[in-house]
Amino acid sequence: MKFFVDTADIAEIRALAELGMVDGVTTNPSLVAKSGRKMAEVIAEICSVVAGPVSAEVTATDSQGMLREGRFLARIAPNVAVKVPLTVDGLRACRELSGEGTAVNVTLCFSAAQALLAAKAGAAFISPFVGRLDDVGQEGMDLIAEIVAIYANYPNFRTEVLVASVRHPIHVVQAAKLGAHVATLPPGVLRALFNHPLTDKGLAAFLADWARTNQTIA
């Protein structure tokens, strides 16, 4: 499974990229707004840090506006993936941008039917929002299972399932078990994957035992 980090914070991206665990980045207008910087500037810097796909989202709601903004974003760096919403206009823009060779991430997916349409439109990524489904009393992971199963029936589909709105490590493990291609994680969730109290306890015990020997290794 690939891990994308869901943030526009350059310092966070650099720190996590140094661990070798970041395969890409996802951003959205809300995340970029928090930076207080121009979108093009932020995306260009992220693309200089991360070699994998960097999702940059359009803000237009009509297909022509999405195409104009998407082409602008795609020119920033070769690893930009243009992010469009799962609307009729978004899918129109997806098909045209994909036909031009631009990777497209179709976002705000909440049903398997929508995911099927995105794949037919040539999306490079489909982003189902599991946490937001959980919030309204639905089982977000059921949607991931449906999409993975549908895509597996059609080898000509090249769309990767990018699990979004991830809230905790359990979401990550469940998505991996279901065969999702990518999970995009807030920095805190990615760091939480490292943690387990028994790891900390075991390490403390090993170090205490070693200290009593008064030895050094090198």
Alpha helices in the chain (DSSP H): 10-17, 29-35, 39-49, 63-74, 88-99, 112-120, 130-135, 140-152, 169-178, 187-192, 197-211
Instruction: State yes or no: is 34 an active-site residue.
Output: no
C-alpha span between 165 and 177 (Å, rounded): 17
C-alpha span between 60 and 38 (Å, rounded): 16
From the list 30, 168, 188, 8, the residue with the least C-alpha distance to 108 is 30
Which of 83, 120, 177, 201 is catalytic? The answer is 83
Sign of the Cα pseudo-torsion (208, 212, 217, 218, in order): positive
Alpha helices in 75-196 (DSSP H): 88-99, 112-120, 130-135, 140-152, 169-178, 187-192
Residue type, 2: K
- Mapping DSSP to helix (H, G, I), strand (E, B) and coil, where does residue 200 land? helix
Instruction: Kindly give, in sequence order, each residue whose CB lies less than 8 Å from that of residue 208, ignoring residues fewer than 6 positions away.
Output: none
Give catalytic residue positions: 83
